[in-house]
Amino acid sequence: MPGKKEIITLLEDIADLLEYNGENPFKVNAFRNGANAIRRSEIEINKIVKEKALDKIKGIGKGLQSVIYEFYETGNSSAYDELKRVVPEGINDLLKIRGLGSKKIKILYTELGISNVGELEYACKENRLALLKGFGEASQNKIIAEIEKQKTYSKYILLNTADTLSEEILEKISKFNTLSKIVHTGELRRGMEVISEIAFVVFVPDKKKFLAELKETFAFEERDDIVTLKNGYPVPIVFFIVIKEDEFCKKLFLTTGSKEFIAKLNAGAGIKCAGNEHEIFKNIDFSFVIPEMREKEYFEQKKSKLKENSDLSIDHFKGLLHFHTTYSDAGNSLKEMITDAQKEGFEYAAVCDHSKSAVYANGLSEGRVLLQKQEITKIASSYKLHIFQGIESDILQTGDLDYSTDFLGNFDFVAASIHSRFNMEEAEMTKRLIKAVENPYTDLLGHPSGRLLLSRDPYKFDVKKVIDACSANSVAIEINANPHRLDLDWRWIFYAREKDCLFSINPDAHSVEDISYIKYGILTARKGGVKNSEVINCFSLENFKKFLNRKVKRSV
């Protein structure tokens, strides 16, 4: 029976094909909105489909309901099948190439018979695109570059995707009778921002029996003591098998650290342990390093402060900062977000919806900011948690924020972020960011590099100079925990900490569910050795207020 994931995929695929077919763009959007509505819905989808109560979800009207009900009952969708009949296969992949939309793809198909990425690449190399009307040499080169990028991207998945997938496999496999112990290792244990391999160390007393049991659930290949699952996974799923319990921790140690880290440790014969990894570090006379920090960058740090282990954990978090609501482009209302934040144990929260120039995200005009303020005042007394009104204010091309200085005084907390004009020259972009950081109202520099992992490169700017400015103006640097961003990149955290910067780890949540992204931000921060004393979200309410009040002094 199809689940939530399958329904979302179906609706999005239908939207793509409708768009290719030149359907009314609003109809196309209705399918995309529907997919998003289901993605963001907290209601258990299986249950309401059975009860035929899908109309409870806003954005799912009669048309989408019938598609979903049919899909549930028959496992098929006649609407989708009909579209697939008239639209060439491979179009979905072509739509993923930046710069190619449905119109251009249609030209490529009708003029050159191109219906998949392979054919497109070949046509570019044959110089056939450059000769096509509406295209040119520049477009052709751009497409070639995009295809190359996608080839690299396709070797990786985002951290949250890997996390979910690894949990699914772990759940299945931990029921095995022949298995004594299993722990994840490698990139996932180190909390890398993107993952090329999901790996586990497994201890099985009887390997033969284990493989026989594994065979009942998974198809796999075996080489030496490494088992790799086959079939349909986006990245390799690997099990390192040990058959003696005292080999377990050694294998875990060797497979966790990056190759460079392990090589530099030069552990040699010291790698022996019966208990846990602390023993190995002790044997080689090296102070223990947490899994996340076992990277080559560890050895590049000169200052001893930067080599200390991070003590950061979710238990230290008191403030939920930078999340969105239905006032701008999120799926849940202010009340819903705040209620959940309180349930999760946060002591204070700062809503940061999009600002007025973010028109595409329904950003808040001055009037709507004041309406939100009224609502906050109205509901404040019904929560134990303290609510601050923040804003994610767009940094304009000039480096100004998009509200007047007078008006910015209305907010308790100001996050400044770039959402447009990414293609500026490095020097100009650096100036723009520094000006925003120097604004006396700015408390936080949001997703500093603007990157979207496996999708969009960061914009060009002098990272050190911008970090220096944050340090000089006591502006916190965001470690955006959304798995698409994980920005600031952890490799820059060391420099920022050298400059005594403060950090803010934020889910950038667009729904109640997204609040859990914080854990990926914590992993990222831990990679840079961040201490909880350096994170404003970990401040007590009183100290967070003090942090906010520093701007009064700044503006005087």
Nearer of residues 3 and 61 to DNA, judged by Cβ:
61
Nearer of residues 212 and 359 to DNA, judged by Cβ:
359
Nearer of residues 133 and 223 to DNA, judged by Cβ:
133
- Find the shortest distance in angstroms from Cβ 113 to DNA: 17
| Residues whose CB falls within 8 Å of the CB of residue 296, separated by 6 or more in sequence, listed in order | 258, 260, 261, 264
- Find the shortest distance in angstroms from Cβ 146 to DNA: 9
Number of separate helices (H) and strands (E) present in the chain: 24, 14
Instruction: Report CA-CA distances (Å) from 345 to 186, 199, 319, 342, 508.
Output: 31, 32, 9, 5, 18
- Find the shortest distance in angstroms from Cβ 246 to DNA: 51
Binding site for DNA (CB under 7 A): 24, 26-27, 29-31, 33-34, 58-65, 97-105, 130, 133-140, 142, 359-362, 397, 419-421, 423, 456
Within 174-290, residue ranges assigned H as helices are 186-190, 207-217, 245-256, 259-265, 277-283
Torsion sign (Cα): 422, 423, 426, 432: negative
C-alpha to C-alpha distance for 254 and 214, rounded to whole angstroms: 24
247-252, Cβ contacts within 8 angstroms, sequence gap of 24 or more: 247/203, 248/181, 248/201, 248/203, 249/273, 249/274, 249/275, 249/276, 249/277, 249/279, 249/280, 250/280, 251/185, 251/201, 252/183, 252/185, 252/201, 252/277
Instruction: Report CA-CA distances (Å) from 31 to 40, 59, 61.
Output: 14, 9, 10
| Residue 333, burial from CB neighbour count under 10 angstroms (0-12, 13-18, 19+) | middle
- Find the shortest distance in angstroms from Cβ 421 to DNA: 4
Nearer of residues 250 and 447 to DNA, judged by Cβ:
447
Strand ranges, E, within 213-358 = 220-223, 226-229, 237-242, 319-323, 348-354
Across the strands, what pairs with 240? Answer: 201, 226
- Find the shortest distance in angstroms from Cβ 450 to DNA: 8
Nearer of residues 40 and 207 to DNA, judged by Cβ:
40
Distance of CA 22 to the CA centre of its chain: 32
- Find the shortest distance in angstroms from Cβ 481 to DNA: 19
Nearer of residues 393 and 473 to DNA, judged by Cβ:
393
- Find the shortest distance in angstroms from Cβ 36 to DNA: 11
The answer to whether the CB of 140 falls within 8 A of the CB of 129 is yes
Nearer of residues 102 and 342 to DNA, judged by Cβ:
102
Nearer of residues 381 and 423 to DNA, judged by Cβ:
423
Nearer of residues 456 and 545 to DNA, judged by Cβ:
456
Instruction: Report CA-CA distances (Å) from 79 to 35, 76, 168, 195.
Output: 16, 9, 31, 36
| Residue 21, burial from CB neighbour count under 10 angstroms (0-12, 13-18, 19+) | middle
Nearer of residues 59 and 236 to DNA, judged by Cβ:
59
- Find the shortest distance in angstroms from Cβ 131 to DNA: 10
- Find the shortest distance in angstroms from Cβ 437 to DNA: 20
SS3 category, 464? helix
| Residue 73, burial from CB neighbour count under 10 angstroms (0-12, 13-18, 19+) | exposed
- Find the shortest distance in angstroms from Cβ 417 to DNA: 10
Output phi, psi for 355, to 5 deg. -95, 180
Nearer of residues 20 and 200 to DNA, judged by Cβ:
20
Strand ranges, E, within 275-409 = 319-323, 348-354, 386-394
Structure tokens at 151: 């080839």
Across the strands, what pairs with 535? Answer: 503
- Find the shortest distance in angstroms from Cβ 432 to DNA: 12
- Find the shortest distance in angstroms from Cβ 464 to DNA: 25
Nearer of residues 139 and 283 to DNA, judged by Cβ:
139
Residues belonging to the chain: 556
- Find the shortest distance in angstroms from Cβ 400 to DNA: 15
Structure tokens at 311: 């003590």
Nearer of residues 64 and 395 to DNA, judged by Cβ:
64
Strand ranges, E, within 395-525 = 413-417, 444-445, 476-480, 503-506
